[in-house]
Structure 1
Amino acid sequence: MIPNNVSGDTVEAAAADPGAAPVVSGDPARVLDLPGAINLRDVGGYRTVDGRTVRWRMLLRCGAMHRLGEPAHTAFTEIGLRTVVDLRELSEFQHEPDMLGPVPVTIAHIPVYAAVLPSTAATTEAEPAGSAGPGAAVHPRVDTAGEAVAAGAVSALRALVDDDTPLTLEKLYTFAVDERGERLTAAVLALAAPDALPAVVHCSAGKDRTGMVIALTLALLGVPDETIAADYALTARYLVGEIAEALSTAPNGKPVPAELLTCPPELIVATLARIRDRHGDVRSFLLAHGATPTALDELRDTLLAPAPAPANATSTAATD
């Protein structure tokens, strides 16, 4: 059984059972406590506005995965992991390749911030065990989890390098949805590829880039904004200690703006609102940036469990 233990928190036994009742949004029991994984969480169990439920062990979100060991390999094999959607920039991707050992996965490298896609990006190819994609380093650096997350923060700082005004999370998210909609959509489409699921979406911290892609996916499924916001804000619980310390200072020694390290739930709600103001809904946003109706419908059908039959329908059927 894959552990769902979070130090200092009471974990509901039902959360460890993918067939159990849905866990409320933001419940720490959905965290997969695997050595070497940063902020690894299952987004299963969330209810949609039409009464359906996101399937367990089909879509995971995570931070850097370059320190994974045998327990994670075993857990991912048990899940049947098929796809890794890596949203990091090329330097992060090559510097700290995912260590997936014998897990046979397909890698979709889709950097969100880069002005020009590297030749390794936006493609989905089967990779040898333990590799991180074409051109990736053969041997991973043995560094700390905090260094990986700090690299992600630096990527964010560089995303608007030509803008002289202070970088804020709001500006970064606006930039992503306004200028990189095709990248965010490509990440969602990677989940919609044939036999792509179960999958994990990740960046370095599992906060901003991952947060936006997961938010778009959950919104597409019909999960309410307040649930999406609670899932997004849950990241703040796990970016602590060594990781938080590393995040506070850039590699050049300068402090990273504290605002960039937060996970305000109202930010992801405002981001979804901006998309709806401009496109009507998240589905239309994705369609405007390269998705097809068929792909989005298939993703919904795969990720969502059927809605339960009404109680009166069940009783009527029993008397027929």
Structure 2
Amino acid sequence: MLGTALFLAISPLAGAATTNAQASAVKAVANAAIKQGSFTEASVVRQANGNLVIKWRTDANLGAAKVYWSSKPDGDWKLLASTYAMFNGFVTADPNPGSRIYFKVKGGNGAAITTAERLLPLKGTTNFRDLGGYKTTDGKTVKWGKLFRADELAGLTAADISYLQKSGLKTIVDYRTKSEVAAKPDPTIAGVNYVYDPVFAETEGSGGTDTSTLFAALASGNSDALGEPGEMLIEGNKGMVDSPAAYEKLFDLLLDPATNALVQHCTAGKDRTGLGSALILLSLGVPKETVVQDFLLSNTYRAAYNKASVDALVAQLHLTDPKAIEVVQALMDVHPEYINAAFDEMDDKYGSIQGFLEKGIGLSQADQKKLKSLYLE
């Protein structure tokens, strides 16, 4: 309770000034019983004004703390601020605007944690994010700044491209069909290798997607042809497991150290990219529960875009049938049953997720060991 009270009264997050007496009292409490312990989690969220809110949690009193920043995830740390671990956070202006920033928080007992913004602050995407920071079942952590996932990149601004170049991006893996690429091609980025790796085969006249049939049914008012809300994406996730060639190619790239940092993307960055991200995290030993949580983050980051898209489609097609609107909403969102359908298909066809990694996409035990050496710390 004392820590909470002090946090509310004089934490840097609360933005209140401290007197010398208050500072002395905080120091005494913070250093009274420094224990062996660790940081259990940390996060960074950018506010509308550009300030960065760094938050952390600990499992013990770690005493005084120092906050460092760097444009690299693994070194060249610069002192940003001195604070106390029990404050559980710090607010700062961006120390290096226009560049990817990483933070390290170090407690008085030597414990430390590295963190960064999950969602990259790009103007031309809605769902470009870092897979770093997730814990594995054996206590390791996915490295920040190596593995990214995103939606379509056609809208990247010049400032966005500069940001990505400075972040060390080396490879773009594009899961979209030829028609999607033709409609919204990725920009050419100097120093970055583009790899075309379609998840779905494109049959003549299909436009690369089954959504044309859906939209025809919506326009005609034939609700019987729509199927149940989410059914298309449940079946789609099963289909991606049954035809996993694109993900075999993804892991071939990931096993080459020269390809990282790597971003994989599709159009919305939630389904094809969602499964690719899940496979990466699972191969590194991240628990399935955490993998599902990452999958569901697309609902958070795409909420405004999804709402605008659904509203526009409802207006364009004059939809009034509640089921039709629910089908459209389910197509824009992600739900646990979508990715779980993929996991169930792996169990049915290969006996387990591990069986799929080994037999479905040819990822040997030696390959998985190499991946862990490359992407865990």
Q: Distance in 2 between matches of 1:159 and 1:65?
A: 26
Residue 371 of structure 2 is matched in structure 1 by 299
The amino acid of 1:298's aligned partner reads K
Q: Does 1:12 align with 2:97?
A: no
Q: Does 1:108 align with 2:195?
A: yes
Secondary structure of 1:246's partner?
helix
Determine which of 176, 183, 191 is the counterpart of 2:254: 191
Larger Rg: 2
Q: Distance in 2 between matches of 1:159 and 1:48?
A: 41
**1:113 and 1:156 in contact (8 A); partners too:** no
Matches within 5 A, 1:53-72: 53-72=141-160
Secondary structure of 2:195's partner?
strand
Residue 318 of structure 1 is matched in structure 2 by none
Deviation track 1:245-301 (CA, whole Å, cap 9, x = no partner) reads 335639x95876322222113432442243134324434313323434244432222
Q: Distance in 2 between matches of 1:188 and 1:45?
A: 20
Determine which of 327, 336, 339 is the counterpart of 1:265: 336
**1:221 and 1:300 in contact (8 A); partners too:** yes
**2:310 and 2:328 in contact (8 A); partners too:** no
Matches within 5 A, 1:304-319: 304-305=376-377
Secondary structure of 1:46's partner?
coil
Deviation track 1:34-63 (CA, whole Å, cap 9, x = no partner) reads 111221111100000011100000001110
Matches within 5 A, 1:72-221: 72-102=160-190, 104-114=191-201, 155=209, 157=211, 166=227, 167-178=231-242, 180-221=243-284
Compare relative contact order (CA 8 Å, sep 6+) and give the higher one, 1 or 2: 1
CA RMSD, aligned part only?
Answer: 3.4
Q: Distance in 1 between matches of 2:328 and 2:263?
A: 28
Deviation track 1:52-102 (CA, whole Å, cap 9, x = no partner) reads 100000001110101112222222122211111111111111221112443
Residue 286 of structure 1 is matched in structure 2 by 357
Q: Distance in 2 between matches of 1:260 and 1:18?
A: 36
Structure 2, unaligned stretches of length 5 or more? Answer: 1-43, 57-68, 70-100, 106-112, 217-224, 320-324
Structure 1, unaligned stretches of length 5 or more? Answer: 118-151, 306-320
**Cα displacement (A) at 1:221:** 0.6
What TM-score, normalized to structure 2?
0.60
- Would the alpha carbon gap of residues 242 and 38 (structure 1) be closer, same or farther in structure 2, given more than 3 Å must change? closer
Determine which of 31, 34, 37 is the counterpart of 2:122: 34
**1:220 and 1:282 in contact (8 A); partners too:** no
- Would the alpha carbon gap of residues 302 and 18 (structure 1) be closer, same or farther in structure 2, given more than 3 Å must change? farther
What TM-score, normalized to structure 1?
0.70
Number of corresponding residues: 260
User: Which shifted more, 62-71 or 263-272?
Assistant: 263-272
Q: Distance in 2 between matches of 1:168 and 1:88?
A: 17
Structure with higher strand content: 2
- Would the alpha carbon gap of residues 22 and 257 (structure 1) be closer, same or farther in structure 2, given more than 3 Å must change? same
Q: Distance in 1 between matches of 2:283 and 2:212?
A: 30
- Would the alpha carbon gap of residues 244 and 33 (structure 1) be closer, same or farther in structure 2, given more than 3 Å must change? same
- Would the alpha carbon gap of residues 209 and 244 (structure 1) be closer, same or farther in structure 2, given more than 3 Å must change? farther
Report % sequence identity: 29
- Would the alpha carbon gap of residues 116 and 6 (structure 1) be closer, same or farther in structure 2, given more than 3 Å must change? farther
The amino acid of 1:5's aligned partner reads R
Secondary structure of 1:241's partner?
helix
- Would the alpha carbon gap of residues 34 and 276 (structure 1) be closer, same or farther in structure 2, given more than 3 Å must change? same
